[in-house]
Chains A and B, each alone.
Chain A
Amino acid sequence: MRGFLDGLLRLRRGPWELVATVLIALGVVMLMQPFALWAYTWSFLVTLSGTVMFIIVSHFPE
């Protein structure tokens, strides 16, 4: 956990890609889940943030 936070602070690719991946996966689940309309409403914003973040952080150093 400490290594993960350290990686985030030092702008390392691994931890930031993990955050972006979680956001994308969460957004897709929110888009397609049958339980809450509010989750569907916010799904696109979450997926978009994750995707943009992924594109940016994939240029961070290892």
Chain B
Amino acid sequence: MTDTPADRLARATPPAIARRVRGLGDRAIAWIFVAPTIFLLLAINIFPLIWTVRLSFTNFAANRPGREVEWVGLRNYERILTDERIWANMQTTAHFLFWTLFFQVVIGFALAWLINRRFRGNDLATTLIVLPMMLSPAVVGNFWTFLYQPQIGLINYTVELFTGIPASSFSMLGPGGLAKWSIIIVDTWMWTPFVMLICLAGLRSIPDYIYEAAEIDRASKWRQFWTLTVPMVLPFLMLAVLFRGIENFKMFDMVVLLTGGGPGNETLLASIDLKREAFEKWRTGYSSAYAIILFVTVFGLASIYVKALNRVRER
């Protein structure tokens, strides 16, 4: 008979401990295994959240720890929710969120539809399409900053080639209203493959016999698409929208690298503004209230999507 590590461990366990463990019920042993995870969750997620809620009612400044902290009640929330500058940032975030989700869903679904039709070079095409998603946002930010350069950037020269507008006469990341769209293009380029992969999983989960039955019933391709493909891919698509919606609401790194929130405040998303308030202006209490507002919004949206997802799955 072989001597396994478990046998050796059992022999090495002191009799007193072994007796005690033998006396524990299944429930107690389960709790012993789960307790470290629960402790970590409480320490890393729940405690900071509760602490942030507490700080949001104070005028605490992290760069002045010796100063007496004053309880200001709802004043931080009141100031944020009546500030037109923050209201404008929310609109910028909404613009970014809406258009990135729109383009990613439309292009991602179209690409998945094409990739699902098996053709020569299908695997190579899938690999090439998925590549941007695998890059770090820092790399993508730097890479597109070069592409958008008015003097040496490829984008400006391509625009000149097709429209005749001189390459150095405009800047994709500068003033003129293009910066907002530039960050949307980059995010769409990077994350459309993610939506495509999820849609592809949905399309490949539809059994062929359903289409065969529809063919026998003489359903047109258009009708098959709207009454079979779309409803069956919808749960997957909603999952993709949920993930991308939450991620884009928190978008920070790529936009900081591309525009830094500029020109002016044109691409100043709520997350970037929050970071400035917290770690440049050091208004910790105020920025905690700001963070709680964003958190509640994301949490509420996530609840709706999870509910919708379950509803569609049940159907």
Which residues does A use to contact B, with CB under 8 Å? Answer: 17, 20-21, 24-25, 27-28, 31-34, 37, 40-44, 47-48, 50-51, 54-55
Contact partner of B296 (CB less than 8 A), chosen from A33, A34, A42, A48, is A48
Q: How far is the CB of B292 from chain A (nearest CB, A)?
A: 9
Q: Chain A residues near B307: list those with CB within 8 A.
A: 17, 21, 54
Assess A32 versus B90: contact at CB under 8 Å? Given A17-B307, A25-B304: yes
Q: Which chain A positions have C-beta within 8 A of B81?
A: 40-44
Task: Assess whether B304 is in contact with A21, with CB atoms less than 8 Å apart.
Answer: yes
Within B288-315, which residues are at the interface with A (CB < 8 Å)? 293, 296-297, 299-301, 303-304, 307
Interface, chain B (partner A; CB < 8 A) = 77, 81-82, 84, 87, 90-91, 93-94, 293, 296-297, 299-301, 303-304, 307
B300 touching A47, Cβ below 8 Å:
yes
Q: Which residues of B contact A41 (CB under 8 A)?
A: 81-82
CB within 8 A of B299: which of A31, A40, A51?
A51
Q: Is the interface of A mostly helix, strand, loop or mixed?
A: helix
**Contact: A50 with B300, CB < 8 Å?**
yes
Residues of A within 8 A of B293 (CB): 31, 44
A50 to B299, CA, bound (A): 11
Quick check: A24 and B303 within 8 Å, CB to CB? yes
Q: Which residue of B lies closest to A23 (CB)?
A: B300
| 10 extra interface residue pairs, beta carbon distance < 8 Å, beyond A28-B297, A37-B82 | A20-B303, A24-B304, A28-B300, A31-B297, A37-B84, A44-B77, A47-B296, A47-B297, A54-B303, A55-B303
